[in-house]
Structure 1
């Protein structure tokens, strides 16, 4: 009886030690406001690797097996860069009318995705500023 209890305790403790990183898939869920499409696509290197159905109320949830890295999340007309890794439980919120600018993240994987989004946003602003300055200088001559 002691051996059975010890074995049961060992199995329970090993199961309890499993982390999200042990999952061989990522979970994406969230809400898309003012949706213009009934699906979202996860795209890698111009190839659709997963199509996620969006319900009439704008909610979605699905799992996907990925290689760690950057992917595009698209509603068919607009897209946003996301970083995925197996084990993530990423919550996404966005407005389809302004998809790339309105996207926000929660859950496991939110920190790196928010960081990547802010880095992309700042790079766009710097590019706009530099190209605007160069055009101004160009027009002087």
Structure 2
């Protein structure tokens, strides 16, 4: 009887420590969403991009991907993102799906333009570049190297 009580208390302590560690890790990771105004962009591919991924300018997180959907008319992936309200992006800004390295996650990289007019809340970034499919590139390299040997 006393062994079960000790095991139960030890199990509860382990669970409490695990929950505490998870909460601490979440708070220190900086993965919370950025509050601000919403903009959107349409891409031909968004492979690997998920809701909650970063939106960055010059490598600095300025927003969060809040939603993604398929436009049934154009078959383009529409990505909605929340951007810090203290930042104004010029109308001719561009967006691309970038990667955090070879095995890293995806994020939206914004490149501010030079227009004097700014994107309004709910506006759209016109100039976009979708994600690059690594498997396709590797396949092309392998295919081209086998064809050059013939």
Q: Which has the higher helix share?
A: 1
Superposition TM-score tier, normalisation by shorter sequence: 0.3 to 0.5
TM-score, with length taken from structure 2: 0.33
> Which structure has more RCO (C-alpha within 8 Å, separation ≥ 6)?
2
TM-score, with length taken from structure 1: 0.35
